Every structure is written in structure tokens, then in C-alpha cells.
């Protein structure tokens, strides 16, 4: 694991130089670890798709370090600006119309005239982006469709030395990818559930947020593929009891072999989700996985979204 480095100021500076030179750096955010490259370097972005085995029609999220930069990068109207100032830095991604036709960002945007932007709420991520001096595209740092990484070791286990440098900033505190909303039309459309809930957005905007009815074969943002975050072993949801051949991930009063949150705290469950799925996948005693019922409201909607995609065949 020689490419894992503690996220010291010196190493963050080295990582910024790697990005400036066209390399790939995995780094922590509050959600999951991202695999970063300069949005303006098509060769580096193409390498992200290759390393991850990611379909080129699946767009990437650009990460910025300052909300004030948003209007220079995307068409941010009053609604987008208000959302950015309320929820950024934080686990919210905005899909906006692009400000120009710069062909350098076409691959990151999967050829779309829209761009996905967020500002991560993590010291290491923000310092890296600032020192790199460019927006950094950073999908989750793992092989496409597999379980997202929440530690530096998860990154190495998935991608090994295909990454030039892995910054180790500890475990990700949120542990679940960002909420994504589309602001390119008159209605706000929820493209991916996340830590910031639909209810929170509706309360702030004082308007309805409409669930996406998009085509998974032509996604407008990350996280819309039918099969995603997948375990190698078959996964069954809403399992109050496990069969003899199932490793049981519990929640609340359902103890299971591992419990996402014994107190029924959805934020704690979200933070544990991907790590526990990895542990269940790695154990050899049970060939299948069962997950206890998770309430469907609020953050539970995001957790169930990930489990649904993980269980899709």
C-alpha cells in the first residue's frame, strides 16, 4: 500500500501537483472517497473512466472549493445560488446548465450541456482543490457498480496502484454519496437521494421537489444506474429474519450479525452502510446477505435507494 499517504499539508501539496500534472488522486470527502482529476484535462478524466470501468455516458461531479466560483463555472440563477449558500459546503450536488462550450469538460459531462457541481465539507478535500487550482472531478474511488469506499484502505482494495496517490484522511463521517438535484428546468428534480433529504430541500425552497423519472441508460447525473453499489453476494432487503445461508445486517431492535444502528439512528446507519456491506461480502460463512427493514422516510430513503441498486440483478 505504498501509494497511501497521511493527509498532511505536505502530502496534500504533493497530491495537488499530481492533479496538475494529469494524475489521479483519491481523497476523502464527508461522503465517500473520491477519485480526483482536473476537469480540464480530458486525458486524466478518460483515465478515471478506464480505471473504474465506468461507462462514458455516466457524467461526473465537479468539486469546487468556493461557492463564489459557481457562477463562473455554471449558470447559477437566484435559486441555485440560494441553495449553494445554504447547503455548501456539504453533501449536495447541483446539476446546472454549463456557462460555455469548453470542449475540455465534455468528457466529464458525458457530452451533456449540463454540469454537476458540489463543494465538499471536508478539510482535506477543500485544501486539495484550492491547491490544485482547478475544479476536481471525483467519482467514488472504486470499481464501477461496486460498494463505495469510506476509508483509504477500501480505495486500495478496489483500485490498488491504478491510483497515483491515495490521501488517507480517516473514515468518511457521512458515508453516503451526496444528494443530487436538477435545477435546469422550472421544477427541482431529485436525481439521487442522499444525506440532505427531499424534505429539507422542500422546506428551504418552499416548493415541491419532484422525484426523477429519468432513463438509467442515459443518466443525467451519477448514481442513476439500476445496478450500483453492488455486493458480490446476493443481497435481500427488508429481512426481519435471516435464512441459514444469509449474513444478517440489522437495524434498531433487529440485532443481526452487524447492526447499522442499534438505536435506530439513520445518520449512524448511513455512516456504517458501505463498510458493513463490505464486511458482509468479505466473510466466508454465509454465501448471501440479508438487510433488516430501514424506514423509508428522510435519510432512510437514501439508504434504501443504495440497497435497492445493490440488490438489482
Per the structure block, which three cell numbers stand in for 56?
462514458
Task: Tell whether 176 and 251 lie within a shared domain.
Answer: no
Give the residue numbers spanning the domain of 78. Answer: 4-211
Same domain, 26 and 171: yes
Query: Quick check: is 220 in a domain?
Result: no
How many CB atoms within 10 Å of residue 53? 11
Tell whether 193 and 274 lie within a shared domain.
no
The model carries a pTM of: 0.90
Which among 178, 211, 244 is the end of a domain?
A: 211
Q: What is the pLDDT of residue 311?
A: 86
- Do 11 and 52 belong together in one domain? yes
What lies within 8 Å, CB to CB, of 53 at 6+ separation is: 143, 144
Does residue 219 belong to any structural domain of this protein?
Answer: no
CA 59 to chain centre: 12
Are residues 288 and 174 both part of a single domain? no
Instruction: Looking at the structure, tell me whether residues 26 and 135 fall in a common domain.
Output: yes
**Is 56 inside a domain boundary?**
yes
- Can you give the pLDDT at residue 313? 67
Q: In terms of domains, do 152 and 253 share one?
A: no
* Single residue among 211, 243, 272 that ends a domain in this structure: 211
* Alpha-carbon gap, residue 30 to 168, rounded angstroms: 13
Q: pLDDT tens across 46-71, in order?
A: 999 999 988 777 899 999 999 999 98
Give the number of domains in the chain. Answer: 2
Pairwise CA distance, residues 131 & 247, whole Å: 44
All residue ranges of the chain with pLDDT < 70 are 214-228, 313
31: domain CATH number is: 3.90.870.10
Does residue 283 fall inside a structural domain?
yes
Are 199 and 294 part of one and the same domain?
no
Note the pLDDT tens digit of each residue in 219-262.
566 655 555 678 999 999 999 999 999 999 999 999 999 999 99
Backbone angles phi, psi at 215, to 5 degrees: -95, 115
What's the pLDDT at 72?
84
Handedness of CA 40, 43, 45, 46 (dihedral sign): positive
Amino acid at each position: 500500500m505504498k501509494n497511501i499517504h497521511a493527509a498532511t499539508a505536505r502530502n496534500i501539496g504533493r497530491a495537488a501537483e499530481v492533479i496538475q500534472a494529469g494524475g489521479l488522486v483519491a481523497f476523502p470527502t464527508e461522503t465517500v472517497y473520491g477519485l480526483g482529476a482536473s476537469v480540464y484535462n480530458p486525458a486524466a478524466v478518460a483515465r478515471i473512466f478506464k480505471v473504474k470501468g465506468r461507462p462514458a455516458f455516466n457524467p461526473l461531479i465537479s468539486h469546487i472549493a468556493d461557492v463564489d466560483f459557481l457562477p463562473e463555472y455554471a449558470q447559477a440563477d437566484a435559486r441555485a445560488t440560494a441553495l449553494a449558500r445554504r447547503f455548501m459546503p456539504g453533501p449536495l450536488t447541483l446539476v446546472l446548465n454549463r456557462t460555455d462550450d469548453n470542449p475540455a469538460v465534455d468528457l466529464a459531462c458525458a457530452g451533456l450541456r449540463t454540469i454537476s457541481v458540489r463543494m465538499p465539507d471536508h478539510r482535506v478535500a477543500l485544501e486539495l482543490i484550492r491547491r490544485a487550482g482547478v475544479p476536481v472531478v471525483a467519482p467514488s474511488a472504486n470499481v464501477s457498480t461496486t460498494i463505495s469506499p469510506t476509508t483509504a484502505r477500501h480505495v486500495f482494495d478496489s483500485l490498488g496502484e491504478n491510483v497515483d496517490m491515495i490521501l488517507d484522511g480517516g473514515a468518511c463521517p457521512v458515508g453516503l454519496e451526496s444528494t443530487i438535484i436538477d435545477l435546469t428546468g422550472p421544477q427541482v428534480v431529485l436525481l439521487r437521494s442522499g444525506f440532505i433529504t427531499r424534505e429539507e430541500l422542500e422546506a428551504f425552497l418552499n416548493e415541491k421537489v419532484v422525484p426523477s423519472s429519468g432513463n438509467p441508460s442515459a443518466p443525467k447525473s451519477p448514481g442513476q444506474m439500476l445496478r450500483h453499489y453492488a455486493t458480490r453476494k446476493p443481497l435481500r432487503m427488508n429481512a426481519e429474519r435471516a435464512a441459514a445461508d444469509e449474513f444478517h445486517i440489522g437495524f434498531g431492535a433487529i440485532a443481526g450479525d452487524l447492526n447499522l444502528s442499534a438505536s435506530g439512528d439513520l445518520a449512524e446507519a448511513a455512516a456504517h452502510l458501505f463498510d458493513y456491506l463490505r464486511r458482509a461480502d468479505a466473510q466466508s460463512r454465509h454465501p448471501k446477505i440479508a438487510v433488516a427493514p430501514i424506514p423509508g422516510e428522510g435519510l432512510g430513503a437514501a439508504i434504501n435507494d443504495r440497497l435497492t441498486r445493490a440488490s438489482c440483478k
